[in-house]
Amino acid sequence: MIGLLRTRDLHRDQSRVWIRLRQIIFTVLVVVASAWSVLAIYFSNLPGEWLRIIAAIGFGIATIAAFAFLSNRKRTLYGFWLAFAGIAVWWSLIPASHDREWLPSYAVMPHATISGNAVTVHGVRNFDYRSVDDFTARYEDRTYRLDDLSSVDFVLSYWNGNTDIAHFMLTFGFRGEDYLAVSMETRREVGEAWTTIGGFFKQFELIMILGDERDLFRLRTNFRGEDVYVYPTVLTPEEGWGIFLNILNRANRLYQKAEFYNTIRHNCLTSLLREVHEYRKSKEFDIRLIRNGLSDQMAYENGLFATAVSFEETKRRHHINQYVENDPEALDYSRRIRPGRLQE
């Protein structure tokens, strides 16, 4: 008899624990879904910032009030998930667009014409900077031959003393010392400021900038004060051709149909790595794909860099600021940032 009572007490205690655990799980899910909904409404395409603020705050207050004052908790929960589903569907249908008032740096979406061995890139950015905000805008059409492609460089740019996070780029070298740099960035509108949270909520379109190194790199080394590293890779010309064509096809898809930037899924690193992955697959996930400021160390360990010295020495040699910081014009920029490369 005593054993039966103890068994019943044990079952009762287990039931209470399960009920409590279920309550905690549902509470966490509701809090997360509510926070997501508030942010989705605020960063939505509703006209006017004040309307978005009012709608977002209104949803948050209504959710709190419903769970605090309505007695039928099950009905309240069903109503909440129905409202959440409606917001999620509406938000998922918000379209990206090429038709906005873009900042001058993002005004032109590049694309390419591929004809056999010849590739013509339309809209190569080649700005001449006097300061970050004072520049002569210039876009060019440039033609490259695939059999002239001789190198692929891995580029990281760090700002504000960051070490864990950096901006990732690639640059392709062609015989005759002609280089084309590739940078995936947020395509921002006039008056639009960058926010990390906004990058999760369709706040920015995505742009692939195809540009001259003297534009993309010099803007960072000489005017923004960023630390830029340009590492030569061991990718073969054949691998380089494939990656280059993948990137140009990606540029053409973006040119034809706008896409949204996403802080995790479609950022500067992950968007370009998709085009590289076919040729250099990683064996397993590495946290340095998220902490991309450490991705150069990952690449070094995986044998991607063309170097026979330590990682620390490799990083020191390829910190390009040291080669151009005292030359504001840097007319021979691509050659200057690659001194002594043959000695490695």
Task: State the average pLDDT over residues 33-37.
Answer: 93
Q: How distant is the alpha carbon of residue 274 from its chain centre?
A: 12
Q: Is the pLDDT of residue 15 over 90?
A: no
For the chain, the domains span: 2-92, 104-343
Coil, strand or helix at 292: helix
Q: What was the pLDDT predicted at 7?
A: 56
Long-range contacts of 278-283 (CB under 8 A, 24+ apart): 278/242, 278/243, 278/246, 279/235, 279/239, 279/242, 279/243, 280/235, 280/239, 280/304
When mean pLDDT is compared across 111-115, 139-143, 178-182, 336-340, the lowest value belongs to 336-340
Burial class of 230 by CB neighbour count within 10 A (0 to 12, 13 to 18, 19+): buried
Task: State the average pLDDT over residues 120-127.
Answer: 96
Percent of the chain whose predicted confidence (pLDDT) is above 70: 85
Q: What was the pLDDT predicted at 342?
A: 42
Whole-angstrom distance, CA of residue 246 vs CA of residue 58: 45
Q: What was the pLDDT predicted at 124?
A: 97
pLDDT digit string, tens, across residues 141-188: 999 999 999 999 999 999 988 888 889 999 999 986 789 999 999 999
Q: Is the pLDDT of residue 5 over 50?
A: no
Task: State the average pLDDT over residues 126-142.
Answer: 94
Whole-angstrom distance, CA of residue 59 vs CA of residue 153: 48
Q: Are 108 and 209 in contact (CB under 8 A)?
A: no
Q: Are 305 and 314 in contact (CB under 8 A)?
A: yes
Within 229-268, where are the H helices?
237-256
- What's the whole-model pTM score? 0.84
Can you say whether the dihedral through the CA atoms of 117, 118, 123, 124 is positive or negative? positive
Within 43-122, where are the H helices?
49-69, 73-92
Q: What was the pLDDT predicted at 308?
A: 83
Six-digit token string for 9: 């007490």
